[in-house]
Structure 1
Amino acid sequence: MARILDEPPMLVPEVLHGDTRLTRKWAHGGLQEDYMRGVAGYVAVGCYEGQHEISWRIENKCLTSRTNPKAFTLIPKGVDGHWNIAGPVVVSHVYLTQERLQACADEIAGGRRIEILPRVAFADPAAAGLLEILSHEAARDSASSRLFVEQAIDLLCARLIREHSSFGSLPAQVRKGGLADWQVRRVTTFMRENLEQPIGLGELATLVGLSRFHFCTAFRQSTGQTPHAWLTAQRMRRARELLAHSGLSVTEVALAVGYETPSAFTAAFRTIVGVTPSAFRRAL
């Protein structure tokens, strides 16, 4: 993130529970088609000055809005994209780890894995207000402030899970049932360890001792995605890593993540990421 900003985020030195970090309010200039790699955790951004057009082009969609004090931006873990902000802004950040969010999900979603949704200047006065409160408290140094901040972060996590995640986006009756966390982990691990091979639905269902029909229904209830979409996401995740950090050709990357032809890989990559594999590599 610091690579694309003229003024990098100014982190408060204190590390909070679950490796959560905060910034005070700080200013940075606009962005124009600046590419940012996915970050290790989740970033919630409040904006307090500067009302400008903002867009984030990720995968096969472009999120657009206008910065304002009653909206906030949410960057999920590991999501790449190109940013445009038409002018300078004053913002604050909260950096959340999977550990901190999952602790909240254990209470709200019964420990179920949740998928945080990307947001760009999304109208949510409650989340925006919590971010502003945290930006003020970040400037204080006292035991009472630390307690207040920890509780405010818990409220923010609860808001994100209830209103800005796959849990909040699914009807209540759909959220019931589904796979256990260990079953989702087992399926995901198997996918990641066998990306270069064809992976069948029956094979995945057998891993968790279910019929194909029951597995498909339960998997979607647990993750908000079909097994095929989940597998494609794992393939694209690995493909981005190989394109960024290996000397493999595009054809070799395609084979490594389970595509028989470069054209099929390029089509899938462009649909998910928004650019061709070659263009993705050139932008690094």
Structure 2
Amino acid sequence: MAASTGYVRRVSATYTFPHVAVDLLDAHKPVAHVIQENGINAEHIIGAEMRSAGSLQSSWRYVGSAGPKDTPCDALSYLPAQIPWGTAIAGRGEASGIACRFTPDYFHTITGIGNDWSERHLRACQDLSSSVIRDMVRKIYHEIRTPGFASDIVISSLSHVILVELARYFQAIASPDEERRTGTLSKRDLDRIRGIVENALNERLSIRQLANALGYSEGYFYGLFKQSTGITPHKYIETLRIEKAMELLAGDGHSIKQIAYAVGFSNPSSFSAAFRRVTGSSPSQAMGQRPSRLSKLEWA
């Protein structure tokens, strides 16, 4: 499919079904230096990495005025038709993946999605946080690798549902005009923030990082988040950390010091102070107790 000095990416096989063509991709890179590639697709492509070995790391971005920052290629991703993109490949190794290709006419017929892509929507294309779509792409991959009875019908049906789910995914993203009108974040954005925080509880997560994930300035995001939830982003991060700490305290084999570090506190004393502030009791009093959910925020 593409070749550069020291890097080869090719389509190992292509399978054509009603309304979708599926490419199985293989990549091999024996050199460590970073290699850049650029392209533009005539079709809409939904793909994912299925296997990787070695230190191979790829990232990609949309290029041009609406180009968000690089995103790892191992995430489920969607490349709209006629949007220029670029990749950066580092390390050595091998990888394989799958790409489902849809013609623009069929894609528009099913999804109703046009070509007016905002930066926020392109960011969402880069990181499809949809377990439903991911599972269906993997199902297509396995149906091709180990076909069973009526696999062509199964794959065609799955590809149709993938587009339906993609349309629902983008409908859940409020437009900037809608957010300015309501003054709140969408349910999808709030769910995404929770996922980001939960995956980085032991890190020093900044408000700027959360704002960047949604394509907002730090100040604008801060106001939207507080208006949407009734608490500040700082308070929310702290609450989720204490919630995780309560789970660890309910188990066996962890000291308070270990738990403090595990949920992102620099020392046990600051952890104890935050724990008492959120729960009204000390970590030692909570040891062995059944944990409760503290972050009961109802997303609209």
- TM-score normalised per structure 1: 0.48
Greater RCO, 1 or 2 (C-alpha within 8 Å, sep 6+): 1
Q: Work out which of the two has the higher radius of gyration on C-alpha atoms and give 1 or 2.
A: 2
